[in-house]
Amino acid sequence: MRVGAGEAAIFDAHLLFLQDEALLDPATDGIPGLGAAASWRGAVSELATAWDELDDPYLRERAGDLRSVGRQVLARLLGVEAPHGQLPAPGILVVADLEPADTIALDPASCQGIAVAHGGPTSHAAVLARALGIPAVVGLGDQIIGIAEGVTIGLDGRAGVVHIDPPSSTIALLEADRAEQLDRERSARARASEPAVTKDGRHISVMANVGGSSDVAAALAAGCDGVGLFRSEFLFLGRDTMPSEAEQEEVYRAAAVELDGRPLTVRTLDAGADKPIPYLELTPEANPFLGVRGVRLTSARPDILHTQVRALVRVSADHPVRIMFPMVATLEELRTGLTVVGDVAAKVGTAPPEVGVMIEIPSAALAAAHLARVAAFFSVGTNDLTQYTLAADRGNEHLGDLADALHPSVLRLIAMTAEAGAASGISTAVCGELAADPAATTLLLGLGVEELSMSPPAIPSVKEAVRAVDLDGADALASKALACATAAEVRQLLTV
């Protein structure tokens, strides 16, 4: 595209941002703890938010320019193509595929929705889009790519449908639905900092899923009771070397300090499968989702696990840190992890932190009674549990309907886990995407789940859903759902 001198001057002004100390100083200071990409992203977001609040309309508009420059630089830092999210005007982004690195560079102010040809609803990119509060519909097939620029698209993120060039009556319905949803979200946000207590007085911890310490502020603003899932792999992505113990300690400590006494649950590195880390030089695998990922990888590479656990144990001496192991399939794996935590804590000279298990492989749910005797808590990862129970790749757009976390077989495994946990006096959380769906809240509590953890934007609505729960009714609903034969029957129960 050719542009004139006026437009070129805009780029000169953009370059000036890159000399601004208010941006460069915090970005540089954060590099040792956060890594360059996260530090840059945090500094841009903080400064742009401050500009958004200025009285001068000219300066307020510059916030958008700053975000745009920020995305370009972030793309370079992450080694990805300049992000697709640079829409010339607010609109819906249509792409063939969405990578996690592209997704984090999208700007919710200009990207109003994402329509993706490939991928499943719980792929990591879709999870990240939700964390940014951007409605996304995935797995639409290649025909979506052929849609001409400028055609109106009605996107219904909740129903997972897009309407191409819809009639005005459909647009009116979608807009009315959106307005109603925004209204509900606004009133939920007004009560977000209040505790989530069921009608019969049970307090439910509503926790946040975060990808780094820079997400904690947004999680607290959304009213979280703590962090239920810190996906530590994001510390390892987008860089050339493994983060050192000191770097990791600084990041975990920053999150713990910001949480100010609320629990911080850190999952040990869950790399492999769709989150490859090039510098770990992992052997290519034919079936990466069934390969060396999660605890399997960290057992094969004790250096990674020891470094991470040492950083966590040091922080746990001063703050309520919980360690959680991903992809545990057997009791032996949990025992090995517990031994590492115990040994490291003894060397550091502090009490070991609580160690919990993610229940995301059917064998772990089936062995929950044994795991519960040694674990301090359970957290069900419904994204992977669904994928492995139904043998349906979570990233495969052709299997989106099959990979349904509300399938009765998945629900039975959740109930089995919660029951085994309760029998041993440990709590069961859900930290997969199902926890973020307010329509599923009553059912999950009825299945015996005591804690829910989700992307920050979902917290206020789920807290509202908890406040509407009556636990006797929830038990009855869960019994009915467990007796269902299909996911469709369960969905039917949730809509009546």
Write the CA distances from 100 to 80, 128, 229, 301, integer angstroms: 11, 7, 17, 25
Catalytic residue among 118, 124, 319, 407: 124
Residue of 225, 360, 393, 397 interacting with Mg ion (CB under 5 A) = 360
Residue 259, amino acid? L
Which of 84, 118, 319, 431 does the annotation list as catalytic?
A: 431
Q: Residues 273, 277, 279, 280: what is their CA dihedral angle, to the nearest 10 degrees? A: -50
The one among 41, 62, 231, 314 contacting ligand PEP by CB under 6 A:
231
Q: How far apart are CA 425 and CA 354, in angstroms?
A: 14
Does 84 qualify as catalytic in the annotation? no
Phi, psi of 22 (to 5 degrees): -60, -20
Q: Binding of Mg ion at residue 70 (CB under 5 A)?
A: no
Binding-site residue total for Mg ion (CB under 5 A)?
Answer: 3
φ and ψ at residue 116, rounded to 5 degrees: -120, 135
Helix ranges restricted to H, 79-228: 100-104, 124-131, 168-190, 216-221
Residue 393 binds Mg ion, judged by CB under 5 A: no
Residue selected from 99, 249, 360, 451 as contacting ligand PEP according to rule CB under 6 A: 360
Binding track, positions 361-390, relative to Mg ion; x by CB under 5 A: --------------------x--x------
Question: Angle 5-17/57-78 helices, nearest 10 degrees?
Answer: 70
CB of 229 or CB of 440, closer to ligand PEP: 229
The reply to whether 111 belongs to the active site is: no
Distance of CA 258 to the CA centre of its chain: 19
Q: How many Å apart are CA 213 and CA 38, to the nearest integer?
A: 9
Q: Count CA atoms closer than 13 A to 73's CA, side-chain side.
A: 23
Cβ 379 to ligand PEP shortest distance, Å: 8
The residue (of 249 and 384) whose beta carbon lies closer to Mg ion is 384
The distance of closest approach from Cβ of residue 482 to Mg ion in the complex, given in angstroms and rounded to an integer, is 23
Please choose, out of 47-55, 285-293, 360-368, 393-401, the segment that lies near Mg ion by the rule CB under 5 A. Answer: 360-368
Q: Taking CB within 5 to 8 Å according to partner kind, which of Mg ion, ligand PEP, none is near residue 382?
A: ligand PEP
Which residues, in sequence order, are CB contacts of 372 under 8 Å at separation 6+?
378, 420, 421, 423, 424, 426
432 makes contact with ligand PEP (CB under 6 A): yes
d(C-alpha 186, C-alpha 294), whole Å: 38
Contact code string over 375-404 relative to ligand PEP, x by CB under 6 A: ------xxxx--------------------
> By the criterion CB under 5 A, which residues form the site for Mg ion?
360, 381, 384
Q: Catalytic residue positions?
A: 124, 431
> By the criterion CB under 6 A, which residues form the site for ligand PEP?
127, 229, 231, 270, 360, 381-384, 431-432
